[in-house]
Amino acid sequence: MRRWVAAVSITMASVLGLAACGGGGGGQTAQQPSAGGGGKQQVEVFSWWTGPGEADGLQAMRKIFEDQNPNLTFFDAAVAGGSGDKAKALLQSKLQASTPPDTFQGHAGAELQGYIKAGNLEDLTPLYDELKLKDVFPAQLVEQISVEGKIYSVPVNIHRSNVLWFNPAVLKEAGVAGAPKTIEEFVAALEKVKATGKIPLSIGSEWTVTHLLESVLLGTLGADAYNALFKPGADWSSAQVTTALESFAKIMSYAGDPQDDWQPAAKQVADGEAAFNIMGDWAYGYFHNPPQGGLGKTSKQDFDWAPSPGTDGTYLWLSDSFTLPKGAKNRDGAMAWLKVAASKEGQDAFNPKKGSIPARKDADQALYTDYLADALKDWSSDKLAGSIQHGVAVNQPWLAAINEAVGLYLGSKDVKALQQGLADAAAANAQ
């Protein structure tokens, strides 16, 4: 309980400190770039990819970048912290001080709206025309990252948020036949695991709880009603939402002690300490990659996956992308990085390690096996819904308000207050 109170305090301080700019999470000081050796020019690439899997993918893309651009050197300005909350807070301070990185990671969709409205980003439409990217990116993705006909980011991948990761041996020990398909089946499975003494559901830091909440909302409401929540006039006070939040509260009652971030929570499943974890498919790279970059676990044996309960047939999606800030110190270097991020070679080097599928339609499908083969198939056929926590469905002020409501819930366990907080957040931010 003390850990959640501390987390709530941190969130409240961050919201108050960043209310004007819509950030979330606490700040963290990144290493500052220094002059490159041998006359090379540095390109400062700002992200939150520091963990196993994600950092490996970034380094794979870095190698291509430096091989193709011998006069440039990559400066990794990554800031640790699962969903990027700490990175976004530091980024806001850099933008406000007119000292932007050369390029920064952002989630495609509503998350970038604040930067665009503030005039922080350059229009990348000419780059799309030069590289003919509209021909190789899905039309729906291009539409999502366009604002008034202009495009401000280059997506490097597609992620799925609504994935239920589980340990087959723990389920077998508990007498659970397989991955639960409905919310009701999920609660029953959690109860069976609890009876064995194992952790029914592992969770990480506070943002992972909002991540869990979006899957429960989708699993209860269905894709159409879920997507409608983010349109002007949506009714967050409805009986349907109440039912979803009551299910969320029930599911959270089976959660273990919160871990520091998503990786240690996922590891509890891989190590057989916990049965379930709802996390995005970046967890696949962490589970699967060799020990120097992951856990080196065997799929279908040490870990397995399914759509989160109630969401089969819907892809709760997000996309990581890179931008070109106005005033970048090394604009040409940033453009060179964006070209690698957009390329087939770059995306095929990055995504298998990251645990994501490519944004490009022409990527080498032979590289995407096991979980990633399932993801490619589902992406092409499922209904689509946008992630809350990861920037597709809501802008940053709205997400900050949602995370505040979730943080307060973790201390109070008051479902009615949570629903009121979510309704207030929508009323203040929906456009």
pLDDT digits (tens, 9 = 90+) for 358-399: 999 898 999 999 999 999 999 888 888 999 999 999 999 999
From 309, 400, 371, 401, select the one nearest 159 (Cα to Cα).
371
| Residue 21 domain-assigned (yes or no) | no
- Looking at this protein, which amino acid is placed at residue 355? G
The CA distance from 413 to 431, in Å, is 29
The pLDDT value recorded for residue 21 is 29
The pLDDT value recorded for residue 263 is 93
Residue 201 has pLDDT above 90, yes or no: yes
Three-class SS of 305-351: EEECCCCCCEEEEECEEECCECCCCCHHHHHHHHHHHHCHHHHHHHH
From 50, 51, 48, select the one nearest 295 (Cα to Cα).
51
The pLDDT value recorded for residue 83 is 62
Q: Are residues 308 and 267 located together in one domain of the fold?
A: yes
Total number of domains constituting the chain: 2
| Residue 18 domain-assigned (yes or no) | no
The pLDDT value recorded for residue 384 is 87
Q: Are residues 277 and 188 located together in one domain of the fold?
A: yes
| Residue 17 domain-assigned (yes or no) | no
Which residues 6+ apart lie within 8 Å of 373 measured at CB?
365
Q: Are residues 400 and 258 located together in one domain of the fold?
A: yes
Q: In this structure, what token pair is assigned to residue 399?
A: 């997400």
Q: Are residues 35 and 174 located together in one domain of the fold?
A: no
Torsion sign, CA atoms 172, 176, 182, 186: negative
* Mean pLDDT, range 291-301, rounded to an integer: 91
Distances 293 to 59, 75, 208, 284, 339 between C-alpha atoms, Å: 11, 20, 22, 12, 26
Q: Which residue has the tokens 């389920």?
A: 171
| Residue 180 domain-assigned (yes or no) | yes
User: In a 3-state reduction of DSSP, which class is residue 82?
Assistant: coil
Residue 53 has pLDDT above 80, yes or no: no
The pLDDT value recorded for residue 38 is 61
Q: Are residues 139 and 173 located together in one domain of the fold?
A: no
Residue 11 has pLDDT above 50, yes or no: no
Q: Are residues 101 and 74 located together in one domain of the fold?
A: yes
| 181-198 pLDDT per residue, tens | 999 999 999 999 999 999
**Contact present, 368 and 375 (Cβ < 8 Å):** yes
Q: Are residues 153 and 239 located together in one domain of the fold?
A: no
* Mean pLDDT, range 325-344, rounded to an integer: 98
Q: Are residues 311 and 173 located together in one domain of the fold?
A: yes
The pLDDT value recorded for residue 291 is 87
Q: Are residues 213 and 346 located together in one domain of the fold?
A: no
User: In a 3-state reduction of DSSP, which class is residue 74?
Assistant: strand
Residue 30 has pLDDT above 80, yes or no: no
- By CB atoms closer than 10 A (0-12, 13-18, 19+), residue 132 is exposed
Q: Name the residue range of residue 168's domain.
A: 160-316+392-429
From 193, 214, 423, 426, select the one nearest 309 (Cα to Cα).
214
Q: Are residues 360 and 425 located together in one domain of the fold?
A: no
Q: Of 376, 404, 419, which residue constitutes the final position of a domain?
A: 376
Range with the largest mean pLDDT of 83-97, 202-216, 290-304: 202-216
User: In a 3-state reduction of DSSP, which class is residue 8?
Assistant: helix
Q: Are residues 407 and 340 located together in one domain of the fold?
A: no
Q: Are residues 285 and 359 located together in one domain of the fold?
A: no
CATH code of the domain in which 294 resides: 3.40.190.10
| 66-106 pLDDT per residue, tens | 999 999 999 999 998 756 778 888 999 999 999 999 999 99
